Structure 1
Amino acid sequence: MLGYLARRLAASVLILLGVSIVTFGLTFMIPADPVAMIAGRNSTPQMREQIREQLGMNKPVPEQYARYLGRLVTGDLGISYARKSEVAPLIASRLPPTLLLMLGAIIAELLIGIPAGIYAATRRGRFGDKAAMTLSFLSVSTPQFVLGLTLLYLFAYLWNWFPLGGYGKLSNLVLPALTLGLAGGGWYSRMMRSSMIEVLRNDYIRTARAKGMSEWRVVMKHGFRNAILPIVAMIGLDVGIFMSGVVVVENVFGWPGIGQLMWQAIQSLDIPVIMGVTIVAACFIVLGNLIADLVSPLIDPRIRLR
């Protein structure tokens, strides 16, 4: 276990190093002069040159990256061009709402996807299977902003069951979490169906049925435990995906997380914030995958970490 964990941590460091190189390249790929954004419209060439020298932007690119990496290791994500404040505390203040939304979305997609996948697998080729897979295809194919606006119109505006937006109450969480959960649930149901069908073909399933065990017990005790493993791996990926992919949903529902912060940064070309959110999302993706790999042997003892 310790050897595996050490290897995974080393690989994670290399992945994050690669992400840092890509995010650093954003400063050169974005068609905007960050110095002009910092100095303002009325700045003189002398002022801009002074700022460029203070920020080290007149140094060679390798030296600039080395300085960026050194600050990154200490947790310094730079200063926001638009807000004139440190990026790290700014992102930290937006993390709790996004983590809460991420948790709600994962719960929603599990509650939607797993039962739908099991239902479809146990009725393979029949009407229930086709109906469940059609609904999963629709949920995956529908753009999140369309789905979010539809839920807002129906459940918040038309029927007044939930608030139109905001943050702070459980009722505020339901619609944005459901918007994310429906798309994820569609993927989960398809994955769960395929995995369950494969598991139900195994010899030990036929043996359990031959012993007279009820179909419900066969499916849930013997089938579900083995079929759930791909879902565990997907949850690890979703941790990172939700951290970086909630931009649209958070803006539709006025959710004050890092997705909304990212969108505001993109609109104002606030490069340090864009880079900071990207790095934080990458850290969560790596962490989510590592946790998924460590949890898998607890579900199926036959899996060994190597």
Structure 2
Amino acid sequence: MLKNILKRIVISIPVLIGVILLIFIMLRIVPGNPVSTMLGEHVNQAIIDKVSREMGLDQPLYIQFFKYIGNAIQGDFGTSYRLNRNVTSIILEAFPNTVKLALCAAVFSWIIGIVTGMIAAIKQNKLLDRLFMGVALMGVSMPVFMIALVMQYIFAFKLKWFPVSGYDSLACMVLPAIVLGWNSAGSIARMTRSNVLEVMQDDYIRTARAKGLREYRVIIGHALKNAMLPVVTMMALQIASMLSGAVITESVFGIPGIGRLAVNAIETRDMPLLQGTVVFTTVLVIMGNLAADLLYSVLDPRIREDA
């Protein structure tokens, strides 16, 4: 297993470097001068040139890139143009807010997804099955921003059950967690249903029933245990995607997390901050994929034997 872990880490290194190179090039070919944006429109050109030299922006792109790689390895993503602060410290301040949102969304999606998927499998082709799968399909199909705005309008603006925005209390996390977790809950519910239905056709399920076990013990003790292997893998991957993909949710609900940092960096052309958030979220996704592979190998001994 250790050999497999090291192999996946080595494979991830070129992916990370490729992402850094891509975002580095894209930010440099976008029209406009970041120094002019930072200093304002009516600044003298001589001052702009001086600041550009001090920041190393007058150097060839390949030199800037290798310097950035060297500093990033040491955990230094540069200094924010807009905030004039170390990018790493800014990201680490915003990251706990994203983690809190992602964990709340994950708990919501896991509980709702697994429970509704099980019920839909047990009540196959009945009213509850069609209802739950319809809601799951809606969650998978609807854009996040649409769900967020509808939730805000109904439950915050009209019914006033929850705050419209903010992040300083548990009530503030309810709507953002539902919005961020709805898509994942739909995917988990659909996969849980299909896996449970598939497992229920296996021989050991018929054997368990022949022994006289009650149906709920057959489903929970035998069917669900084996049906959850691919679902658990999806759940681990979704944690990484929630941590890195909460841009819209954080922006709509005013949560100062990693996603909102990236949006603000794009608006102000703050290249170091945007690069830092992209690299940081890429690392999270890679770590999430690695964790999912490890978790699957732990749950299924056959994977360890093949590795």
TM interval, short-chain normalised: over 0.9
Moved more, 187-196 or 152-161: 152-161
Tell me if the contact between 2:81 and 2:270 (Cα under 8 Å) persists in the aligned partners: yes
Moved more, 269-278 or 147-156: 147-156
TM-score, with length taken from structure 1: 0.93
Q: Find the counterpart in structure 2 of residue 189 from structure 1.
A: 189
Q: Find the counterpart in structure 2 of residue 206 from structure 1.
A: 206
Instruction: Identify unmatched segments of 5+ residues in structure 1.
Output: none
Q: Residue type matched to 1:162 in 2?
A: F
Q: Find the counterpart in structure 2 of residue 91 from structure 1.
A: 91
Moved more, 261-270 or 34-43: 34-43
Segments of 4+ moved more than 4 angstroms: none
Map 1:91-110 to 2 at 5 A: 91-110=91-110
Tell me if the contact between 2:239 and 2:288 (Cα under 8 Å) persists in the aligned partners: yes
2:61 aligned with 1:61:
yes
Q: Residue type matched to 2:304 in 1?
A: R
Q: Find the counterpart in structure 2 of residue 70 from structure 1.
A: 70
Q: Distance in 1 between matches of 2:137 and 2:277?
A: 30
- Provide, for residues 43-75 of structure 1, a one-character-per-residue CA deviation record: whole Å limited to 9, x for no partner: 333333333333333333222211110111111
Q: Distance in 2 between matches of 1:89 and 1:282?
A: 18
Identity %: 37
CA offset at residue 142 of structure 1? 2.1
- Provide, for residues 151-179 of structure 1, a one-character-per-residue CA deviation record: whole Å limited to 9, x for no partner: 22332333332222222211111111111
Q: Distance in 1 between matches of 2:31 and 2:15?
A: 26
Aligned length: 306
Q: Distance in 2 between matches of 1:160 and 1:27?
A: 42
Q: Distance in 1 between matches of 2:270 and 2:167?
A: 25
Q: Distance in 2 between matches of 1:210 and 1:30?
A: 68
Map 1:28-39 to 2 at 5 A: 28-39=28-39
Q: Find the counterpart in structure 2 of residue 173 from structure 1.
A: 173
Q: Distance in 2 between matches of 1:161 and 1:81?
A: 39
Q: Distance in 2 between matches of 1:39 and 1:185?
A: 45
SS in 2 for 1:303: helix
Q: Distance in 1 between matches of 2:202 and 2:31?
A: 56
Q: Residue type matched to 1:205 in 2?
A: I
- Provide, for residues 100-129 of structure 1, a one-character-per-residue CA deviation record: whole Å limited to 9, x for no partner: 000000000011111111122223333322
2:126 aligned with 1:126:
yes
- Provide, for residues 171-198 of structure 1, a one-character-per-residue CA deviation record: whole Å limited to 9, x for no partner: 1111111111222111111121222222
Instruction: Identify unmatched segments of 5+ residues in structure 2.
Output: none
Q: Find the counterpart in structure 2 of residue 216 from structure 1.
A: 216
Q: Residue type matched to 2:297 in 1?
A: P
2:265 aligned with 1:270:
no
Q: Distance in 1 between matches of 2:6 and 2:278?
A: 24
SS in 1 for 2:106: helix
Tell me if the contact between 1:136 and 1:189 (Cα under 8 Å) persists in the aligned partners: yes
Tell me if the contact between 1:26 and 1:275 (Cα under 8 Å) persists in the aligned partners: no
CA offset at residue 255 of structure 1? 1.3
TM-score, with length taken from structure 2: 0.92
2:18 aligned with 1:11:
no
Q: Distance in 2 between matches of 1:232 and 1:55?
A: 46
Q: Distance in 2 between matches of 1:256 and 1:38?
A: 21
Q: Distance in 1 between matches of 2:217 and 2:297?
A: 22
SS in 1 for 2:167: coil
